[in-house]
Amino acid sequence: MSHSDQLTLRKSIRRHQLREMVPLADSTIYEMEQRGEFPRRFALSPRCIVWDLAEVQAWLESRRAAPVKRAKHPDVRQRKTRPVKAPDQAQAAS
């Protein structure tokens, strides 16, 4: 086994590449990282933040294998007020 075989290069990706792979908002990714549900970012320099490509791909594969249950629709009959004004109320307010 040669010396080059012993070194395994792990590719890292920057934020814009991550956004192309994972269509989530930055705040959502950050919150998921804090809860341990998404691969952690790390700093290459004080101004360069990256993610490990293999970890992100493994996370995507795990999400494909076991999809997340969708949230239930809210029961609109339980709301206390109507969020949209009726047409006659909108004209009276003008």
Residue 86 has pLDDT above 80, yes or no: no
Query: Between vectors from CA 26 to CA 45 and to CA 58, what angle results, nearest 5°?
Result: 80
Question: Could you say which DSSP state residue 39 is in?
Answer: P
Q: What are the tens digits of pLDDT across the range 32-75? A: 999 999 999 999 999 999 999 999 999 999 999 987 788 888 88
Domain limits, the chain: 10-68
Distance set, CA 91 to CA 61, 83, 84, 86 (Å): 53, 16, 13, 9
Q: Are 29 and 38 in contact (CB under 8 A)?
A: yes
As assigned by CATH, the class of the 10-68 domain is: mainly alpha
Task: Report, as an integer, the average pLDDT of 5-17.
Answer: 83
- pLDDT at position 5 is 55
Residue 79 has pLDDT above 90, yes or no: no
How far apart CA 52 and CA 73 sit, in angstroms, is 35
- pLDDT at position 69 is 83
